Structure 1
Amino acid sequence: MQKLVQGIHQFQTQIFSSHKELFERLDKDQAPETLFITCSDSRISPNLITQTQPGELFILRNVGNLVPPYEHMGGMSAGIEFAVTVLQVKDIIVCGHSNCGAMKALLEPDQLGELPATKAWLAHARKTEQIMWESYGHLHGNELLHATVEENALVQLENLRSHPSVAKAVTAGRLHLHAWVYKIETGEVFAFDPDRGQYTSVTGTDGLAPLDPEHRATDLSI
């Protein structure tokens, strides 16, 4: 706790003072262009990864970067609705990450014996689980885990489309959906390219292994 208090002191005395105009402007309003949905994992820092300032990302986080379908209305649905309808964001990114504990638990449900709330929450990734067991039986270990992370981001985009505000904005052409995967160990970020059927580096380097189009969770050609 002391480290946090020291951090606040440093922020107030060094950071805030040099960005005073920014924070005064943000006090009046916010106008982020991107809704960034990612995992609660402490190793993920959306603003650090994207080098964005306060006010530039509207961030929603939860275990496994899941998006419950619209019929399961709750905090995530409210945040999505607000971002799309009120803030009118132009992009929604669902960002998974390497070595995700939630995806490990999805593949190894025995880990959830004493975590009933987590087990219930991961039901929103049941389609991901189904895809993995039906289509990726040839993979094991880290390869299986990473493929699960990739597929899960696509499944959650499909769930996003069940939200009326998202569907309306996508149809109108003012909203675009993106699936990203962040590799903690290298700092690389990969985005799913529907034309190539694989994740490719957002900075233009070589992509990851392609996903079989027959096993793809959703059509992202928008």
Structure 2
Amino acid sequence: MKDIIDGFLRFQREAFPARAGLFRELANHQAPRALFISCSDSRLVPELVTQREPGDLFVIRNAGNIVPCYGPEPGGVSASVEYAVAALKVSDIVICGHSDCGAMTAIASCACLDHMPAVRHWLRYADSARVVNEARHHPSAAERVQAMVRENVIAQLANLKTHPSVRLALEEGRLTLHGWVYDIESGAIDALDGMTGRFVSLATHPYTSAKPAAHASAA
């Protein structure tokens, strides 16, 4: 904890003064351009990976970068999505998975989660990805997990589209969806190309987005 407090003191002493003007602008107003939905994993920091400043991203983080389908009893993720789209009018939503994801590893390896019932229940929102991934052949356990991470991004994009605010924004042409997978070791990002259903390098295909396609695959 001392390291965290020391970090805050350093922020207050060095980083905050350098951005004093920015924080004055943000004190009573925010206008982020994108909603970024990622895993809570400590190794994935959305603002670091995208090199964004405070105020640029509206961020949702949870185990497995999951977006539950819209339902009669919406939770915190649903409320945050609705606020980002309907109130903040974000123009883009990114769902970002990552390599070595503990949640996706547990699903892909059928790990027993009886000792973590809340986690087990939460990961049920990735069931459609699990079923698709289990139906495919994977040369190794590592590749099974990698494929699961990608299938989950595809599944969560589908879940996202069940939210009324998102459906309306897509219908009105004011929202674009993106599906990313971040590799921790290399720092690379693969993005879902909605026209082909394949993940491609974002570095070489920077304008790739998850535009609707008839079929999507994690190949």
Q: TM-score, normalized by length of structure 2?
A: 0.92
Aligned to 1:44: 44
Q: Structure 2, unaligned stretches of length 5 or more? A: 206-212
Q: Which has the higher helix share?
A: 1
Instruction: Establish whether residue 160 from structure 1 lines up as the match of residue 139 from structure 2.
Output: no
Aligned to 1:84: 85
Aligned residues: 210
Aligned to 1:64: 64
Secondary structure at the aligned position of 2:64 is classed as coil
Paired with 1:156 and 1:199, the residues of 2 have a C-alpha distance of 15
Aligned to 1:119: 120
Paired with 2:101 and 2:133, the residues of 1 have a C-alpha distance of 15
Secondary structure at the aligned position of 1:88 is classed as coil
Aligned to 2:186: 186
Paired with 2:154 and 2:44, the residues of 1 have a C-alpha distance of 19
Cα contact 1:158–1:217 (8 A) shared by 2: no
Aligned to 2:130: 129
Aligned to 1:93: 94
Paired with 1:217 and 1:156, the residues of 2 have a C-alpha distance of 13
Paired with 1:24 and 1:155, the residues of 2 have a C-alpha distance of 39
- Give the RMSD, CA atoms, in angstroms: 1.7
Shift of 1:171: 0.6
Secondary structure at the aligned position of 1:192 is classed as strand
Aligned to 2:209: none
Paired with 2:144 and 2:108, the residues of 1 have a C-alpha distance of 9
Q: TM-score, normalized by length of structure 1?
A: 0.90
Paired with 2:8 and 2:15, the residues of 1 have a C-alpha distance of 10
Shift of 1:111: 3.2
Aligned to 2:148: 148
Q: Structure 1, unaligned stretches of length 5 or more? A: 206-212
Shift of 1:216: 2.4
Distance 1:217 1:195, change over 3 A: closer
Secondary structure at the aligned position of 1:109 is classed as coil
Paired with 2:77 and 2:51, the residues of 1 have a C-alpha distance of 24
Stretches of 4+ moved more than 2 A in 1? 108-111, 137-140, 194-197, 213-218
Cα contact 2:198–2:216 (8 A) shared by 1: no
Secondary structure at the aligned position of 2:60 is classed as strand
Instruction: Establish whether residue 106 from structure 1 lines up as the match of residue 127 from structure 2.
Output: no
Paired with 2:20 and 2:114, the residues of 1 have a C-alpha distance of 49
Shift of 1:127: 0.5
